[in-house]
Amino acid sequence: MKRRGRKAFWHNIKFKYKLIVLNENTLEEVVGIHVSKLNGISVLLAACTVIFLIAAFIIMFTPLRNYLPGYMNSEVRRQVVENALRADSLQQALARQQLYLMNIQDIISGKVKADTVQSIDSLTDVRVEELMERSEEEEKFRQQYEEKERYNLRSVNENHDAAGLIFYRPVRGVMTTGFQPMQKHFGTDLVAAPNENVLAALDGTVILAAYTAEAGYVIQLQHARNFITVYKHCGSLLKKEGDEVKGGEVIALVENKVEGNPEGEQPHLHFELWHQGTPINPEKYIVF
């Protein structure tokens, strides 16, 4: 019965039909084509394959690949950031221009006396302060922050040293432990899927690629402006010492499982960012 069922199935698939195009006036056969269901399926699969190859070719060899996660190069990323900053500057200039026109209208209408105005720019600054009055909560937060950062000399140069650098997120995951230098935790822990790609945060050179009993596979990169990134608890390394890498390039894989862990700790990446021999908080430069 099974053999008869298979024969009937293949007979149905291979059975050929004849498609005929007739002349309506003379009933003469113009075109006749013998087709089967197997031919139709083959043509459909071939068409889908051709469409897939064309789409893949267009994405791989055109700027469309920059819209895929992980394929945007550093130059395009830098242009995106510059355009965003330029748009923000234009928005601020437009707002200031509107305030300027409002001040001119107030002077002409007599709301503001001309002899009390030293310059239009000073009047614009006064109007901005009036429109952006701080609440009590904002004033308290400002005082607390200024008091906290008063003697933090390192914070003055951090953003300046990183100006123009675009940091890549090292791995797609969830941050579980942040930067805690007081507890000797000089980096950020990111829980990720096993064997997830680990990406270089910046362009640089591999200065360490080794295995340690405490942190597993470790890879360390030297970057421009005295920045160093460290990637611990890797499952395997894809680069060796001396290799030059680009920002966003895959350099390692997240560990598949945590060896010797009785508490069931999930596989994660420990990421550190150092500048001039001092650990700094990666969250100030990278959005995890």
Residue 67 covered by a domain? no
Residue 68 covered by a domain? no
> Can you give the residue range of the structural domain that contains 51?
2-60
Q: Do 196 and 276 reside in the same domain of the chain?
A: yes
Residue 66 covered by a domain? no
Confidence of residue 156 (pLDDT cuts 50, 70, 90): very low
User: What is the chain's Cα-based Rg?
Assistant: 33
CATH number of the structural domain spanning residue 215? 2.70.70.10
Instruction: State how many domains the chain has.
Output: 3
- 176 or 258, higher pLDDT: 176
Q: What is the DSSP pairing of strand 244-245 with strand 204-212?
A: antiparallel
- What does the pLDDT look like over 227-264, one tens digit per residue? 999 999 999 999 999 999 999 999 999 988 755 444 55
Q: Do 185 and 280 reside in the same domain of the chain?
A: yes
Q: Do 44 and 84 reside in the same domain of the chain?
A: no
Residue 237 covered by a domain? yes
Q: How many C-beta atoms lie closer than 10 Å to residue 219's C-beta?
A: 25
Domain stops at, among 101, 131, 161: 161
Whether residue 152 is predicted with pLDDT greater than 80 in this model: the reply is no
Domain stops at, among 161, 194, 215: 161
Q: Do 143 and 45 reside in the same domain of the chain?
A: no
Nearest one of 204, 239, 222 to 274, comparing CA atoms: 222
